[in-house]
Amino acid sequence: MSGRVQGPVLILGATSDMARAIARDFAARGCDIQLAAREPERLEADRADLVTRYGVGVTLHAVDALDVDSHAGFVAGLPALPRVAVSAIGLMGEQAENAADMTRAATILRANFEGPASLMGVLANAMEARGSGTLVGISSVAGERGRASNYVYGSAKAGFTAYLSGLRNRLAKKGVHVVTVLPGFVATRMTEGMDLPARLVAQPEEVGAAVLAAVEKGRDVIYVRPVWRLIMAIIRALPERVFKKTSI
C-alpha cells in the first residue's frame, strides 16, 4: 500500500511509549484509533488525548497477548477490521533472571513471539480474506544475533522477525502489506536507567514518524535511526569465533 493512510488503526500493546507516539501520528492523519492492552482502563487518558488533539474516534479494547485462545474472538469483536494493525507488544525482563529461571524465560518467549505472532496471524487471515490491509510488527535489532546480554528476549524477537518476513512473503500478492520495524535503542520505559550512547537512542516520537512513513510508502523492513542498519550489518558479519568472545 502506498499513498494516504486510512483508518481505523489498531494498536496492540497500547500502553507503551512507542505505542502512544504511533497512535498520535496516525490520529494526526485523521485515522480512527483502536487501542488494545491488557488493562484498557489505563488508556482512558490516552483516549481523551487523541480525541482532544485530533478529533478522531477512539475505542479501547482488552487483549492479553499470552491468552492465544482469545485472539480470534478479540479480532472478531473489534468494531471494524482495522486497515492498519500495529503490534507494540513486548516484554524484556532481566536477562539474568531469564537465564536462570526457565519459567520466566518462557514468559519472555511467549510475550515477544507467540503472543504477537498469534495476533498478527489472526489479523493477517482476516485481511487476506478482505484483500487489503497493513500489518506492522515492532520487532528488535536484538533479534538479529543472539548475544549474552539479552538472548532470551533476542531469540523471541528473532522468531517474530522471521514470522513477519514469512507473512510478508505469503501476503505479498494478496493486497496485504507487512512492515517489520527494528527500532534500535529507544528512550522508553523499557530502556530507562540503562547507560546507552545518546546518539543511538531514538525518541518514541521518531518511531511514530518512521512507522507512519513506512506504512505510507509501503516499506518492508525499517530501522528507525539509519545508523542501525550499518551497526547490525557489522554485527551480523562478525565470524562466530570472533563474535563469541565479544561482550556487546
Partner 1 sequence: MTRLAGWGRFRPVEARVARMRSEADVAVALAAGGPVIARGNGRAYGDSAVSPGVTLDMRGMDRMLAFDPATGVLVAEAGVLLSEIIACLLPRGWFPSVTPGTRYVTLGGAIAADVHGKNHHVDGGFGAFVDWVEVMGPDGRVTRAEAGSDLFSWTVGGMGLTGVILRAAIRLRRVETGWICQETRATAGLDEAIDVFEGAMDAPYSVAWIDCVTEGPHLGRSLVMLGRHAGVGDLPAARRRDPFGVPRKRRLTVPLDLPGLALNRWTVGAFNAAYYRLGARKPGPALVPWDSYFYPLDAIGDWNRIYGRRGFVQFQCVLPEDSARRGLHRLVEVIAASGQGSFLSVLKRFGPQDSRFAFPRAGYTLALDFPAHDGSLDLMQTLDRITLEHGGRFYLAKDARMPRAVLEAADDRVAAFRAMRAATGAAGRFVSLQSERLGL
Cβ at position 15, least distance to partner 1 in Å: 9
- Known active-site residue 151: no
Count of other CB atoms within 10 angstroms of residue 174: 15
Cβ at position 239, least distance to partner 1 in Å: 37
41 binds partner 1 (CB under 8 A): no
Residues in contact with partner 1, counted by CB under 8 A, come to a total of: 11
Cα 218 from Cα 178, distance rounded (Å):
8
Cβ at position 246, least distance to partner 1 in Å: 26
Nearer to partner 1, 10 or 23 (CB): 23
Q: Which x/- pattern over 164-203 shows residues binding partner 1 (rule: CB under 8 A)? A: -------------------------x--x-----------
- Among the listed residues 54, 153, 163, 223, the single catalytic one is 153
Beta bridge partner(s), residue 177: 134
Q: At what angle do helices 151-171 and 115-130 cross, to 10 degrees?
A: 10
Q: Which helix (H) or strand (E) holds 58?
A: strand 58-62
Cα 142 from Cα 158, distance rounded (Å):
8
Q: Which x/- pattern over 47-86 shows residues binding partner 1 (rule: CB under 8 A)? A: -xx--xxx--------------------------------
User: Mapping DSSP to helix (H, G, I), strand (E, B) and coil, where does residue 217 land?
Assistant: helix
Nearer to partner 1, 17 or 32 (CB): 17
Taking CB under 8 A as the criterion, the residue among 30, 42, 62, 217 binding partner 1 is: 42
**What are the angstrom distances between the C-alpha of 27 and each of 16, 62, 97, 138?**
16, 20, 38, 19
Q: Where are the alpha helices (DSSP H) in 172-247?
A: 204-217, 227-237, 240-243
Cell of 4: 494516504
Question: Which segment (44-52, 67-75, 138-146, 171-179) binds partner 1 by CB under 8 A?
Answer: 44-52
Binding site for partner 1 (CB under 8 A): 17, 42, 45-46, 48-49, 52-54, 189, 192
